A and B are shown apart, each in its own frame.
Chain A
Amino acid sequence: MGVTQWGVTSSESYRMQSKLSDIELIQQTLAGNQAAYADLVKRHQRFVFTLAMRFSKVREDAEEIAQDCFIKAYRSLASFQGQSKFSTWLYSIVYTTAMTFLRKKRVDTDSIDDESTYIQIENHASAYDVNNAENRSRSFYLDQAIAQLLPDDAAIITLFYKGEQSLEEIGKMMNMETNTVKVKLFRARQRLREKLERNLKHETKDLI
């Protein structure tokens, strides 16, 4: 039985993690129990990391963004009022941190809305898996197409389908009207379908 750095055995930690709600873990953290915060991190890290990946497209950067988010969240945990879900509050931190990261990273004058920025990624992805048809499952194509989307589009799709966030919550998070989010989600899905169709067309040509 492994003992974590915070003096909690891994099985105890897992039990605690699965039993307590986010709010209870926050209360314990605020009372000085850092292991409770470690559990909160474990609970949300996959989604936060995925969301960060939608923006940065590079694992190392995404990990840095995600870590930064959890540290920021810890710092301002006392200011979390519980008026929204903890996940909504946390994802809004991810959104602002990722946007700041992108702004800092954009040293050249290219806009992040410029799709040409992502052509390289697309080429890289296709070059990476050349002739590896076995790996090309449905989820592979979906991941590939999402990686080619603009950060905002990819983030909205991820938040809606995997983050269990309503359009209103996404709107609050991104500082947008619910209707704007609805339109953006619609357009993002349209672009995703276009990318999927284009990629699949390329793949069929490659296979022939």
Chain B
Amino acid sequence: MNSIEEILWNYIDGNCSPEEQRIVSTLIAEDESYRLKYQELVALSNNLSEMELDEPSMAFTYNVMEGIRAEHALVPLKARVNKRIIMGIALFFSITLLALLVFILLNVKLPAHILPANSSLNFKIPDINSGKEKMIVQAFIFFDVVLGLYLLDGFLRRKADPKQA
């Protein structure tokens, strides 16, 4: 069973069926406790409807529009460029290059004397086992290894403590 208050609030808010509305109207008219409570709740409801809204500062609208403007200014150029245009240009160049490549491969006829009958190519690999060259290669490899270890160390440190990165 609903309390008197709940019934009356439903009545005031207009959430009652016509039948319920009729019953509550009769109760308000005939029952003193209903009538007093109804008057009290209606007064509160009216006060709530009439309550004043708070006013923000004078510069509120200006601040909002400034915020929007600042946000626009912060967007990097790459984010403002339409990606579809970039994709279109990339597609155009890819197709052109591919078509050009196919056209060249189909049309190029190498003269017979360029390719020897025995097609095994005879490259001469430089000899690095001798003195000075060997030392240069070893120093180069050593430098690469140190650089590699340094980068690996940095990577592992970042992974262990992401806040530091």
Q: Which residues of A contact B (CB under 8 A)?
A: 5-6, 34, 37-38, 41-42, 45-47, 49-50, 53, 62-63, 66-67, 70-71, 74-75, 138-139, 142-143, 146, 157, 161-162, 167, 182, 186, 189-190, 192-193, 196
- A4 to nearest B CB, angstroms? 8
Q: Which residue of A lies closest to B67 (CB)?
A: A71
* Interface range for B: 20 to 34
Residues of B within 8 A of A63 (CB): 56-57, 60
Closest approach, in angstroms, between the C-beta of B27 and any C-beta of chain A?
A: 18
With CB as the reference atom, state the residue of chain A lying closest to B71: A71
The majority secondary structure among interface residues of chain B is helix
Given A46-B53, A162-B53, A190-B5, CB of A71 within 8 Å of CB of B64:
yes
Set of chain A residues within 8 Å of B55, measured between Cβ atoms: 46, 49
Q: Assess whether B9 is interfacial by the CB under 8 Å rule.
A: yes
Q: When the two chains form their complex, are residues A46 and B61 in contact, meaning their CB atoms are under 8 A apart?
A: no
Can you sample 27 A-B contacts with CB below 8 Å? A5-B65, A34-B65, A37-B68, A38-B61, A41-B60, A45-B56, A45-B64, A49-B54, A49-B60, A50-B53, A50-B54, A53-B54, A62-B54, A63-B56, A66-B56, A67-B63, A67-B67, A70-B64, A71-B64, A139-B50, A139-B51, A142-B47, A146-B51, A162-B53, A167-B15, A192-B44, A196-B44
CB distance from B1 to the nearest CB of A (A): 15
In angstroms, Cα B45 to Cα A151, docked, is 19
New A-B pairs, 8, CB < 8 Å, besides A38-B64, A49-B53, A62-B56: A37-B65, A45-B60, A71-B67, A71-B68, A139-B50, A142-B47, A186-B5, A196-B44
| Closest residue on chain A to residue B43 by CB atoms | A138
A161 touches B60 (CB 8 A): no
Which of A38, A41, A47 is close to B53, meaning CB atoms less than 8 Å apart? Answer: A47
- The closest CB in chain A to the CB of B68 belongs to A74
Chain B residues within an 8 Å CB radius of A67:
60, 63-64, 67
A38 / chain B contacts, CB cutoff of 8 Å: 61, 64-65
CA of A41 to CA of B64, assembled, Å: 8
Closest 9 CB pairs of A and B: A49-B56, A161-B48, A46-B53, A70-B64, A50-B54, A50-B53, A71-B67, A41-B61, A41-B64
